Amino acid sequence: MKPKAERIANMDEMANHEPGGFILASLPSPAPSNSSRSAATTLPHPRSHPLRTGSAKEEAARRYVEGRLLHISRRYTKKFQPADPAEEVHGYESMNEVAKDLGEVVDVLWLSGTRTSPFPCV
């Protein structure tokens, strides 16, 4: 192993000759991703005005989101337990299922236009 002073001198040399000192300039740029473009177009249109704080609609949205998060939590917990065909709620088998369930919750929050967290503990 080289002495510390020599390693520092080599790092200073690299920083002076290569942009950023971490990435070689000869590496090509990554190909553009289509995922960010498609995700932006699937968002629903938000409300023009957020739900009024304490209104019945805000309370309904809060109850729905709490219920869905509880359902997601149950499915996550059931993932680690043996499958029981008699149960109504089954554990997650893939990340697609998790993403679908969480996507529904995000859509409701997005549509509600609520600027602050609907949960007092967050």
Q: Which amino acid is at 5?
A: A
Q: Please give the backbone phi and psi of residue 107, each rounded to the nearest 5 degrees, phi first.
A: -60, -45
The reply to whether 37 falls in a domain is no
Q: Which domain holds residue 61?
A: 55-114
User: Cα-atom radius of gyration of the chain, to the nearest Å?
Assistant: 25
Which residue, among 121, 110, 102, 119, has the nearest Cα to 50 in the 3D structure? 110
Task: Give domain status of residue 15, yes or no.
Answer: no
Tell me, yes or no, whether 9 lies in a domain.
no
Structural domain count of the chain = 1
Residue 31 lies in a domain: no
In percent, how much of the chain has pLDDT > 70?
A: 59
101 touches 68 (CB < 8 A): yes
Domain contains 45: no
What is the band of 89 on the pLDDT scale with cuts at 50, 70, 90? confident
Show the tokens assigned to 114: 């609520």
- Confirm whether 100 is domain-assigned: yes
The 3-state DSSP class for residue 89 equals coil
Model confidence band, residue 96 (pLDDT cutoffs 50, 70, 90): very high
